[in-house]
A and B are shown apart, each in its own frame.
Chain A
Amino acid sequence: MAVITPLLKGLAFTLKRFFSKPITYQYPEQKREPSERWRGLHRLKTENGQLKCVACGLCEAVCPAKVITVEAKETPDGRRFPNRFVVEVTRCIFCGYCQEACPKDAIELTRNYEFCGYTREEFHMTRDVLARN
């Protein structure tokens, strides 16, 4: 009897589970809300239609995975802006250091975790892609 009872208990337990509701998120239809502090795809912030970034290169310097490339340029009236700003998202570790290092609050990590592509090149996110995002 001492051998059989735990077996029956186990069977009762699994039968109870069988009639319980699955906790699965049915992903594409039913999305899980990421946390407030979720670090997803980067965004270059804009102000009055202009990028806030001044291409100081601090994010490039602080990036532990070395995925950010910034190339500075100046407008005729002496304003610096990033001529080229590429984030290789496939190698990014989403640490958020770029956001912390930025003196102009120009880059942030959004809560977007759904980005995909068929080639590596699609993940070399350029300035305009990141600004639109």
Chain B
Amino acid sequence: MLDFLIESILKVLVVFGVLLFVVAYTTWLERRVLGRIQVRHGPNRVGFQGLLQPLADGLKGFFKEDIVPANADKIVYVLAPVLSIVPALMIVAVIPFGDSFQLFGREITMRITDVNVALLYILGLAGLGEYGVMLGGWASNNRYGLLGSLRTAAQMISYELALGLTLISVIMVSGSLSLVEIVNTQTVWWNAFKQPLAFFLFLICGLAEINRTPFDMPEAEAELACGFNIEYSSMKFAMFFMAEYAHLISLAMIITCLFLGGWYLPFGIPTPGLLKFPVFLAKVFVLVFFFIWERGTFPRLRYDQIMRLGWKWLMPLALANIFVTGVVVTAVA
């Protein structure tokens, strides 16, 4: 019992330490990649190739004045960034990073925990994470902030439906809600090959769910001047920012687990035990790179376009996909 406790606590510490580190460096990666896409350098001054930039940003965040607007709802205003970042970090608890390895004669699994309803847990936390954004914009008593929050609420409802529906077809194919089991059913054929439409839909809905370009309605810089986080400064803003990137990374990991076969190589090529974690990391990196790449490519959709895409295209497509999957799965069985 005691060694189980120690193992779990150690794993939690390691995973969250690494996660926060990766979150910090994703901001660096994003700025460098966007820079190169725009034929400029991006931050390359602080340390070698700008590698100390996240550190400098963090220090700057700490030393900035922490402002609470006079007419803000103080409790909710302070609570919102916390509500935003805690669920974002908690999602990682159910994500398997690899198989298991032997250490001091113990078998250590490369995940914090394997919940049998992991997908529900992730959907729940993803929904909860949006509350931080919604409450933050509302509590700061700013019209831009409120508009950002309203858009978040509308966008969340529209896209979470389609997101949940695409997940159903994955569950039908894999026959489980546990991420570990879903990964283990993909040793030969990844779900991305079995369910290409679901993969595509999930990618789009996921981007909308984490409020990323081209669906970054809540913080549309051009018309809302940053939207929900307009009144936030100092570490409160940094927390929103970190939550955004934590969501980005967890989305990449979830897609890797659900559609890209987790730590397995495609077409049944056997994966050596040592390579499993690097394979997983490589897939996550490719996805994160894709998210940055598409941010540098696509313009933001208009509000009505987002709503139309969500309700008129993604939802029906997801429903049709469930129907077809159901027919095929029943026919095969």
Which listed segment binds A: B31-39, B50-58, B187-195, B233-241? B31-39
B200 to chain A: closest residue by CB: A4
Stretch at the interface among A10-18, A82-90, A102-110, A112-120: A10-18
Determine the interface band of chain A, counting residues with CB < 8 A from chain B. 10 to 19
Asked if A1 CB lies within 8 Å of chain B CBs, one says: no
Q: B interface, how many residues as a size bin?
A: 10 to 19
Across the interface, which residues of B come within 8 angstroms of A11, CB to CB? 293-294, 297
On whether the beta carbons of B296 and A24 are closer than 8 Å, the reply is no
User: A1-29 toward B: CB 8 Å interface, digit per residue (1/0)?
Assistant: 00000010011011101111111101000
Bound form: Cα–Cα A15–B33 in Å: 10
**Residue ID in chain A nearest B44 by CB atoms:** A26
Q: Which of B41, B297, B298 contacts A22 (CB 8 A)?
A: B41
Determine if B40 is an interface residue (Cβ-Cβ < 8 Å). Answer: yes
A20 to B36, CA, bound (A): 8
B179 CB to nearest chain A CB (Å)? 29
| Cβ contact of B40, chosen from A7, A10, A14, A23, cutoff 8 A | A23
Among A13, A22, A26, max chain B CB count under 10 A is at A22
Could you say which residues of chain A place their CB within 8 Å of the CB of B41?
22, 24, 26
Contact B35 A14 (CB under 8 A): no
List of A residues within 8 angstroms of B293 by Cβ: 11, 14-15, 18
Known: A11-B293, A14-B293, A18-B293. A24 touches B298 (CB 8 A): no
Chain B residue at smallest Cβ distance from A23: B39
Residues of B within 8 A of A7 (CB): 297-298
Interface residue ranges of A46-88 to B (CB < 8 Å): none
Distance, CA A36 to CA B33, complexed state (A): 36
Q: Is the CB of A22 within 8 A of B37?
A: no
Most-contacted residue by chain A among B35, B36, B296, B297 (CB, 10 A): B297
Complex CA gap A69/B294 in Å reads 57
A23 surroundings in chain B (CB, below 8 A): 39-40
| Residues of chain A within 8 A of B37, CB atoms compared | 14, 17-18
Q: Which 5 A-B pairs rank lowest in CB-CB distance, beginning with the nearest?
A: A14-B297, A10-B297, A24-B40, A14-B37, A18-B36
Chain B interface residues toward A at CB < 8 A: 33, 35-41, 293-294, 296-298
A: which residues have CB within 8 A of B? 7, 10-11, 13-15, 17-24, 26
A to B CB contacts below 8 Å, 5 in the list = A11-B293, A20-B36, A21-B39, A22-B35, A22-B41
Known contacts A18-B293, A19-B36; 15 additional CB pairs below 8 A are A7-B298, A10-B298, A13-B297, A14-B293, A17-B36, A17-B37, A17-B39, A18-B37, A20-B39, A22-B35, A22-B36, A22-B39, A23-B39, A24-B40, A24-B41
